[in-house]
């Protein structure tokens, strides 16, 4: 039985909407945790230091060593929750592409994981980013492809051509 669903895509690609829809259509309760959960849990000072996470005016995201330390602990914690019996959907942005996936693979180990790529044309994601008004402009376009570089998926969905609920149903059909 699938224990963890890792949903990876760039900013404004539609991941969070898909995750909410997944929680609605899956028959059992699933916890939704994501990179935004981690960033929100960090002290504000981590968003203004070289060691934390920085969002440049052009949308570039820079990750420092203090962030990586906390991220590693968080990934281990999410994995431990899954081992303890919680079903978890991870809403992620693999800024490091394949190396980001490897960090999760190592922590998730023997757990049954469904790896899902959320694709979205960079122009569509950029338009969503502007419409949302709560993101650094440029982040969506800069992340649209880099987050998928070298990443292996069990399934991919494209939110430029399908609504969140349709994507969620496609994903849910693969959950065993």
Percentage of the chain exceeding pLDDT 70: 100
Radius of gyration, alpha carbons of the chain:
15
Count of CB atoms within 10 A of residue 70's CB?
17
Say if CB 156 and CB 145 are below 8 A apart. Answer: no
Question: Is 136 a residue whose pLDDT tops 90?
Answer: no
CA distance 105 to 173: 22
- What pLDDT score was predicted for residue 135? 81
Question: Is 48 a residue whose pLDDT tops 80?
Answer: no
Choosing from 36, 121, 154, 158, which is the catalytic residue? Answer: 36
158 is catalytic: no
Confidence of residue 24 (pLDDT cuts 50, 70, 90): very high
Mean pLDDT over each residue of the chain, to the nearest integer: 95
State the pairing for strand pair 61-63/155-158.
unpaired
State the pairing for strand pair 155-158/113-119.
parallel
Name the residue with tokens 């694709």: 119
pLDDT digits (tens, 9 = 90+) for 62-77: 999 999 999 999 999 9
Question: Is 131 a residue whose pLDDT tops 90?
Answer: yes
Distance of CA 76 to the CA centre of its chain: 16
State the pairing for strand pair 53-55/61-63.
antiparallel
Reading the block at residue 64, the tokens are 């420092």
Q: What is residue 112's three-state secondary structure?
A: coil
pTM: predicted TM-score of the whole model, two decimal places: 0.95
Alpha carbon of 160 to those of 29, 31, 123: distances in Å? 28, 26, 10
């Amino acid at each position: 039985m699938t224990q963890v669903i890792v949903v990876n895509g760039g900013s404004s690609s539609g991941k969070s909407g898909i995750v909410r829809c997944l929680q609605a259509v899956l028959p059992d309760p699933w916890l939704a945790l994501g990179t935004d959960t981690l960033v929100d849990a960090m002290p504000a000072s981590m968003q203004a230091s070289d060691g934390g996470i920085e969002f440049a005016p052009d949308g570039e995201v820079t990750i420092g060593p203090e962030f990586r330390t906390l991220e590693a602990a968080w990934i281990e914690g999410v994995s431990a929750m899954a081992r303890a019996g919680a079903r978890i959907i991870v809403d992620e942005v693999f800024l490091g592409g394949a190396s980001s996936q490897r960090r999760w693979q190592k922590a998730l180990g023997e757990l049954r994981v469904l790896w899902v790529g959320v694709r979205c044309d960079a122009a569509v994601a950029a338009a969503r980013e502007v419409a949302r008004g709560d993101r650094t402009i440029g982040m969506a376009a800069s992340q649209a492809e880099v987050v998928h570089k070298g990443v292996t998926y069990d399934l991919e969905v494209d939110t430029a051509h399908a609504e969140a609920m349709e994507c969620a149903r496609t994903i849910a059909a693969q959950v065993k």
